[in-house]
Structure 1
């Protein structure tokens, strides 16, 4: 059998819907990540973690909690699974085994993730993606779309069920064994002061904190959260890609029904979630139930609704110029994700402008808007001159074992 060398996907053979949705997801991820960049982690999950918030601060939290929290990383995970499918299908069509290239890609992504987690930001997701990508690839070939979707749904359901049990019965666990959980959802003043000191002191202190956080949380992130939540979402994305859903190949009526049904379910659960949070005044148990169970489950349906909405946009001719810019952001998602980390750590940490714990949530949303507008300008400008984003080019060159063409002729 003759084989053809496997090469990266050129822009002419890409599915524009995948790039568009990925570009939107990059913005959505920053909406939530900036809370963790700008303050202690409890600030992300609990608007009252640092005391009674202002009205605009509380409203901003509810808006981002409802429309962004866990929705966009779920969407991004689905797209990651679709990307694995796309690579495997292209390789098979070329008569080349994609297995070696896939595992090289995951190895180098793992390396990038470790560097990012230790030297830039503790909230890295790349390590979890790389480790999860090692096993979800087993489903990429020779399994039906229905198998992928069913297994993915089961995995997500298992995690939601386990987290629900933990949130409901966590009060029965001795306090000393729950201290880390208390600090995550309802931190003490001593813990707040300790966390603030880390990111308002020296880079060396930050480095120690990131190494400790990474080594402590990696098993939970990669082996539990990655297995069930991220892995389940990747499998859903693989199945949706295989069915032509993510690539905007279905009818307009299909996407309208998908959007309406999934939004009704997802936002219905979130409405109940928000009611519980308000009714209990963000009690420890309710906040845990929200973050680990209700919102996590609802996010899957909202992400699916977003897919329906965005694919309807792909099939229309509305705002074509803006659409093109979002596609460029999506084609450079890796570079844009890391650049967000670099920009935000410079803004908030002591080795930069030192704005850590200084701004309200609505002010952080203004920063998100400025950063994303810059990426909407930068990404198409860059891709008009180069074939890939800088990190995409490096990742591809390492994965394929040779330097890829970079500059456009």
Structure 2
């Protein structure tokens, strides 16, 4: 039976805290990856020796095995889940929220374009475009969505590439030939502009060549199919109420953790065995394909482990800090870009070459911890983060409550 308010309307469903915690953990992984990559400013770092060299090696290992190409997948899954929760809650009130959500996606895309002025790897524009697929699929049957999700997560283009390299798919145009390489006459490189002192030139490069390069990467790496598949998987998790009453589903999440860990270790072993074959194009394609599936199983294990860890008492302060950060994810994501691009790029302090992997890791964690504390204090006085409130107000086309009473 649906709970109702004193006015007779369905009472608003309680916020699922574990989802805010997962958003915050995804945000932590994102900033670690971006800081390690100097927000796509790939300049040689000054050499280090002694303990600093060892620390850099450890930071590189953490980056490669725990964060890169994984935190983004978690964000994608949570985006699909949040989409379903928003539409489902509005539907319980008798409101079809799909048109309003499409407007919300347009606003997200426009905000992403502003963010792109500072960072060409922005994901808000990606989500703003691909999110329309969720609207189209919202009313489709669950079996259809399960099949479509599996097809996307299987990486169809990468599978065909591997088969073509092995001579088993004649006539398939390998994805590496879908785009022409950049011509040297096409203009200055990203590194030249980012290291320079002109923010305007770097911003224009981000909006033009940077956008084209980003979409090309998403197509060639197979990430576009992963993103769509995880969007759908998140929507299915919402339909199945997977995270509702998470503390009461410990057995389920323990099983998910065991299965996903076993799958992850199996795929890791397979990819390790394929190392001798990477000298051949077919072996390289196959290893890349296995890596995509390995990342998916890692994220599944991470989510299961996080739910088991944070859905039990005994971690009040970390849970409170993470949940506060998860409620202000959009604000924190954009703020991270502003902080680190100012630190790294030539139009700011230009410290990219003097900040090695270890320093970048520590800086990313420090910025995230500071954001968590600020978010905790902010939400004592306000209902939403600044950008969250702005996005919400523009979505509803009327002023939304902001100050906590």
TM-score class normalised by the smaller sequence = 0.7 to 0.9
Aligned residues: 380
CA separation of 1:67/1:56 partners in 2, compared to 1, >3 Å: closer, same or farther?
same
CA separation of 1:25/1:166 partners in 2, compared to 1, >3 Å: closer, same or farther?
farther
Looking at structure 2, the residues matched to 102 and 393 of structure 1 have their Cα atoms a distance apart, in angstroms, of: 15
CA separation of 1:149/1:333 partners in 2, compared to 1, >3 Å: closer, same or farther?
farther
Q: Which residue of 1 aligns with 2:323?
A: 327
| SS in structure 1 at match of 2:353 | coil
1:262/1:302 contact within 8 Å kept: yes
Q: Which residue of 1 aligns with 2:194?
A: 199
Q: Which residue of 1 aligns with 2:26?
A: 25
| Structure 1 residues 309-346: Cα deviation after superposition (integer angstroms, max 9, x where no partner) | 11112331121111011011111111111111111101
Looking at structure 2, the residues matched to 199 and 207 of structure 1 have their Cα atoms a distance apart, in angstroms, of: 9
Looking at structure 1, the residues matched to 399 and 81 of structure 2 have their Cα atoms a distance apart, in angstroms, of: 25
**Which residue of the other structure, out of 137, 146, 149, is the alignment partner of 1:152?**
149
CA separation of 1:283/1:77 partners in 2, compared to 1, >3 Å: closer, same or farther?
same
Q: Which residue of 2 aligns with 1:131?
A: 129
Q: Which residue of 2 aligns with 1:208?
A: 204
Query: Does 2:393 match 1:400?
Result: no
Of 267-276 and 325-334, deviating more is 267-276
Looking at structure 2, the residues matched to 38 and 16 of structure 1 have their Cα atoms a distance apart, in angstroms, of: 30
Looking at structure 1, the residues matched to 162 and 245 of structure 2 have their Cα atoms a distance apart, in angstroms, of: 34
Query: Does 2:109 match 1:113?
Result: no
Query: Does 2:308 match 1:312?
Result: yes
Task: State the 1:355 CA deviation.
Answer: 1.2
Q: Which residue of 2 aligns with 1:234?
A: 231
CA separation of 1:168/1:247 partners in 2, compared to 1, >3 Å: closer, same or farther?
farther
| Structure 1 residues 362-404: Cα deviation after superposition (integer angstroms, max 9, x where no partner) | 1111111111111110111111111000000000000001011
1:163/1:292 contact within 8 Å kept: no
Q: Which residue of 1 aligns with 2:49?
A: none
- How do 1:294-305 and structure 2 match up within 5 A? 294-305=290-301
Task: State the 1:177 CA deviation.
Answer: 7.2
Q: Which residue of 2 aligns with 1:48?
A: none
Task: State the 1:267 CA deviation.
Answer: 3.9
- How do 1:168-207 and structure 2 match up within 5 A? 179=181, 194-201=189-196, 202-207=198-203
CA separation of 1:335/1:174 partners in 2, compared to 1, >3 Å: closer, same or farther?
closer
Q: Which residue of 1 aligns with 2:36?
A: 35
Task: State the 1:196 CA deviation.
Answer: 3.2
Task: State the 1:143 CA deviation.
Answer: 2.6
* RMSD (Å), alpha carbons: 3.7
Looking at structure 2, the residues matched to 292 and 129 of structure 1 have their Cα atoms a distance apart, in angstroms, of: 24
CA separation of 1:176/1:318 partners in 2, compared to 1, >3 Å: closer, same or farther?
closer
1:31/1:368 contact within 8 Å kept: yes
Task: State the 1:348 CA deviation.
Answer: 0.4
CA separation of 1:341/1:156 partners in 2, compared to 1, >3 Å: closer, same or farther?
same
Looking at structure 2, the residues matched to 175 and 58 of structure 1 have their Cα atoms a distance apart, in angstroms, of: 34
1:248/1:314 contact within 8 Å kept: no
Q: Which residue of 2 aligns with 1:122?
A: 120
CA separation of 1:21/1:174 partners in 2, compared to 1, >3 Å: closer, same or farther?
closer
Looking at structure 2, the residues matched to 365 and 288 of structure 1 have their Cα atoms a distance apart, in angstroms, of: 29
Q: Which residue of 2 aligns with 1:140?
A: 138
Of 312-321 and 252-261, deviating more is 312-321
Q: Which runs of 5+ in 2 are unaligned?
A: 45-51
Q: Which runs of 5+ in 1 are unaligned?
A: 44-52
Task: State the 1:151 CA deviation.
Answer: 1.4
Task: State the 1:42 CA deviation.
Answer: 9.4
| SS in structure 2 at match of 1:357 | helix
Of 33-42 and 392-401, deviating more is 33-42
1:246/1:307 contact within 8 Å kept: no
1:132/1:226 contact within 8 Å kept: no
| SS in structure 1 at match of 2:371 | helix
Of 262-271 and 356-365, deviating more is 262-271
Looking at structure 1, the residues matched to 284 and 32 of structure 2 have their Cα atoms a distance apart, in angstroms, of: 21
